[in-house]
Amino acid sequence: MLATVVFATITGNNEDVADIITEALEDADLTVQEVEISQADPADLLKSDITIIVPYTYDEGALPEEGLDYFDDLSELDLTGKVFGVAGSGDVFYGDDYGVAVDRFDERLASTGAIRGADKIKINLAPDKDDIKHLDQFANDIIAKATAL
């Protein structure tokens, strides 16, 4: 089974989140491609069984600038039968705008026909020990969903 983990980061927190998820997927013997969003081609998701996107939310609810084209291009894909998840770090300081990119990518992937493998996860700033446990469970839930198909 092939999984693709696409991340966007400014501070490095989301790269940490992506690394934690990638490690959990690899521990389950999946082949994983982890790629920064500006280097990723959405069409490559057609080859993956599992897609996980780890975006950051910029300022007051903006998507990552380097991921805007990627986000737009997702709407042109048919990912029916693929499993997805979205997780990302943000800053609760922004209140209602906290983690909006996670919500928007989750909605966009669902609109492609892909199947949500786990509830989205929002992490305040850098992942701590509890967040790592949640991310491991997130990855395991996605694997279970993909395996059941």
Max distance between CA atoms of the chain, in angstroms, equals 39
pLDDT digits (tens, 9 = 90+) for 2-32: 999 999 999 999 999 999 999 999 999 999 9
Domain 2-148 has CATH 3.40.50.360: yes
How is residue 59 written in tokens? 């300022």
On the 0-12 / 13-18 / 19+ scale of CB atoms within 10 A, 61 is: middle
Q: What are phi and psi of 60, to 5 degrees?
A: -100, 65
Give the pLDDT band (50/70/90) at residue 42.
very high
What would the two tokens of residue 141 be?
A: 């839930």
Give every CB contact of residue 23 below 8 A, 6+ residues apart in sequence. none
Q: Report CA dihedral (11, 13, 15, 21) to the nearest 10 degrees.
A: -170
pLDDT tens-digit map of 26-38: 999 999 999 999 9
Give the DSSP letter of residue 63: P
Q: Where are the domains of the chain?
A: 2-148
